[in-house]
Amino acid sequence: MYQLGNYVAGDWVMGEGEGQLLFNAVTAEPLARATSKGLDFKAIIDYGRKVGNPALRKMTFHQRGNMLKALALHLRNQLPGFYELSYKTGATKADSWVDIEGGIGNLFANASLRRKFPDDVICIDGESHNLGRNNTFMGTHILVPKEGVAIHINAFNFPVWGMLEKIAVNLLAGVPAIVKPATVTSYLTEAVVREIIASGILPEGSLQLVCGSAGDLLSHVDAQDVVTFTGSASTGLMLKKTPAILENNVPFNMEADSLNCIVLGQEVNPGQPEWELFIKEIRKEMTLKAGQRCTGIRRIFVPENKMEDVWKAIGSSLAQTVIGNPLNEKVRMGSLAGETQRQEVREQVQKLLASSQIVYGSLDSVEVVDADARSGAFISPVLLMNETPHLSKEPHEIEAFGPVSTIMPYKDMDDAIALGKLGKGSLVTTIVTADHREARQYVIGASTHHGRILLLNQECAKENTGHGSPLPLLVHGGPGRAGGGEEMGGIRGVKHYLQRTAIQGSPGMITSVTGVYQTHAPGKDPGKHPFQKYFDELQIGDQLITDKKLITADDIDRFADLSGDHFYAHIRDTDFTGTMFEQQVAHGYYIMSMAAGLFVDSYHKNPVLLNYGIDELRFTKPVYPGSEIHIRFTCKEKLPVDKEYYNPVMSPNGEMRLKREL
């Protein structure tokens, strides 16, 4: 029997004893054993802090981003082996694609985020502020990597995506990770980690893996560490109360299973595109990963006069779903992750039946293809109906983590919003409507209780990523029962692993510390025109001060004729009585054009390739004829640009693909 390894302190280590037996979810055949017994968890954390953290901190944001890109490219070459193991978790090809290639897509997406950071080990956060009348004292905020480790305790439903979407963020930030996957599907996580370690792409100590119990791992954390948890709200709450986490104020990000809901707009009727989208979205969310998704639709709210039409349509749609062995090409829904999960789903549905009834499916039987329904962890999709949602607490408190949803009526949009809030906080909610005003009403009313809102109609039907698909550049999390945390979210997610510190000093000193030129800092004589320098020759603070240019009324007239901009303020014979201007005003874009003429280097070829735009251009004061202007042209920051990268995009069939960008 294969025993899973734990990758700790730079080596693959086997735990003591037999540990937990892991099974093929489709056939119930034993696959492996997992145990972490005997591991020194304090030493594991210390190794990450002392070996992995310093190695990552020495790398710049761009170097770490390119490291993620290289890792993503490497893992893409190992897909067949990952898919083979994924099928044994009960996942279909589509399920596996979301887990495996979706996880790799997170690496690519976070790799591209490096462009939002400097090519440095430090970055500025937000605006800088002048704090002195004489411009000699200022303040700003900086971000630096924490000196600890990121500890990720993940759920069983996405053994690859759950790991990669988290480590992509902490590695870009410069913090190493210790990953503790849910044991039942940890054999797939272990296979991916083996490929990551074998690639040699990550610095030693950047990633450690614990298969089995977390033991006393969390008892050794301190304020420089970050803990993330994905799973049930009750388990998350228990972990969050760990004394070391409370005493040391350790950041704890929880993404808990929640009672997510979908709402059918009041004016959506059978035959309309939105009606079909609504039914299709529910079927997809109930059957993808056999409903084992933290973002799964658990509550369905529809206008009370359309209840029967909707539940019958959902039932007809679910009946078309082929269930069975994921290796069969006709199968669209596989098994749950194991027998334990099947028993738990059945128990939770029994609790829901206290106030609801089954209108589609069965707890006792299910037809499967190429599999044994008794041996494998198969279960039928179950649609429940509750006609008294305000009087029944069960559908708003009990989650069956499988292909189970409850349909309930609402009276008007305010009522739908109120029903959604009875779930006490969710990761995501969807409203399907063609009415823009209804969508606005729902968003404003529901946002306090949901981490993400999908506004679904035919306008975005082909490109929308779906109710259950959190994206790397948007936050994934939710208030209340959903955990109160947030993951991913682009730059927002990276900042969870960075320490924000306010620094104060002279503009020159702050420039030297941050590597970004600050207003009023002394400039450097560039020696020669900056346009005659190559990228590597440019220095932060290189500053060119140009000759002066006189602005005349004739110049303004000619620019007005050339541009077609004859706004009254630019016409010399305008009567300016009662206006904010004293006389004819130069066009802002004329001033900008003259500025370019002042600082551009003659007619000679030079290393400069192009000017791709000006950020934060503002016209704050009028420039009158007779004024003189000159330019102070300063090298503020240097950012390298890669020749190509891969950008995650959604295909027409709703799958994420990696588009090569130049």
Contact status, residue 6 vs residue 32, Cβ threshold 8 Å: no
Catalytic, out of 190, 255, 285, 487: 255
Does residue 633 carry a pLDDT above 60?
yes
pLDDT at 660: 44
> What does residue 460 show for φ and ψ, rounded to 5 degrees?
-115, 15
- Report the alpha-carbon distance of residue 45 to residue 317 in Å, rounded: 49
294 catalytic per annotation: yes
Percent of the chain with pLDDT over 90: 81
- Taking residues 264-274, what's their average pLDDT? 95
Under DSSP, is residue 142 helix (H, G, I), strand (E, B) or coil?
strand
pLDDT for the residue numbered 644: 52
> What's CA 457's distance to the chain center, in Å?
23
Residues 294, 399, 438, 635: which is the catalytic one?
294
CA–CA separation, 560 vs 564, rounded Å?
5
CB 476 within 8 A of CB 501: no
CATH number of the domain located at residue range(s) 547-630 in this protein:
3.10.129.10
- Per-residue pLDDT for 171 more than 70? yes
Beta bridge partner(s), residue 12: 7
Model pLDDT, residue 662: 34
The CATH number that domain 260-465 falls under is 3.40.309.10
Q: Does position 661 have pLDDT exceeding 50, yes or no? A: no
List phi, psi (to 5°) of 576.
-90, 10
Residue 478 has pLDDT above 50, yes or no: yes
User: Please, which residues have CB within 8 angstroms of residue 335's CB and are 6 or more apart in sequence?
Assistant: 25, 26, 90, 290, 342, 371, 376, 377, 378, 379
Which pLDDT value is given to residue 614?
80
Confidence band, pLDDT 50/70/90 cuts, at residue 602: low
Model confidence at 643, pLDDT cuts 50, 70, 90, reads low
Could you tell me the two tokens for 169?
């963020």
Q: Which helix (H) or strand (E) holds 140?
A: strand 138-145
Question: Regarding the domain with residue range 2-123+148-255, which homologous superfamily does it belong to in the CATH classification?
Answer: Aldehyde Dehydrogenase; Chain A, domain 1 (3.40.605.10)
Could you tell me which residues come within 8 angstroms of residue 444 by beta carbon, excluding any fewer than 6 positions away?
A: none
Tokens found for residue 465: 């990523």
Structure tokens, 172: 């870009």
pLDDT(600) > 90: no
551-599 pLDDT per residue, tens: 999 999 999 999 999 999 999 999 999 999 999 999 999 998 888 888 8
DSSP 57-125: HTS-HHHHHHHHHHHHHHHHTTHHHHHHHHHTTT--HHHHIIIIIHHHHHHHHHHHGGGGS-SSS-EE-
CA–CA gap between residue 317 and residue 214 (Å, rounded): 42
Q: Tens digits of per-residue pLDDT, 58-106? A: 999 999 999 999 999 999 999 999 999 999 999 999 999 999 999 999 9
pLDDT, average across residues 433-438: 96
pLDDT greater than 60 at residue 652: no
Tokens describing residue 439: 């969508």
**What pLDDT score was predicted for residue 40?**
95
Confidence at 181, pLDDT banded by 50, 70, 90: very high
- What does the pLDDT read at residue 469? 87
pLDDT recorded at residue 536? 86
Share of the chain above pLDDT 70, in %: 96
Q: Is 443 exposed, middle or buried (0-12, 13-18, 19+ CB in 10 A)?
A: middle
The mean per-residue pLDDT over the stretch 118-124 comes to: 94
Neighbours of 662 (CB within 10 A): 6
Average pLDDT of the chain, as a whole number: 92
**DSSP letters for 194-233:** HHHHHHT-SPTTSEEE--S--TTGGGG--TT-EEEEEE-H
Query: Would you say residue 648 has pLDDT above 60?
Result: no
What does the pLDDT read at residue 488?
87
Domain with CATH 3.40.309.10 in the chain: 260-465
> Known catalytic residue: 255?
yes
Domain with CATH 3.10.129.10 in the chain: 547-630
Mean of the pLDDT values across residues 368-380?
94
Q: Dump pLDDT digits (tens) for 377-415.
A: 999 999 999 999 999 999 999 999 999 999 999 999 999
* Range 464-483 average pLDDT: 90
Tell me where in the chain the CATH 3.40.605.10 domain(s) lie: 2-123+148-255
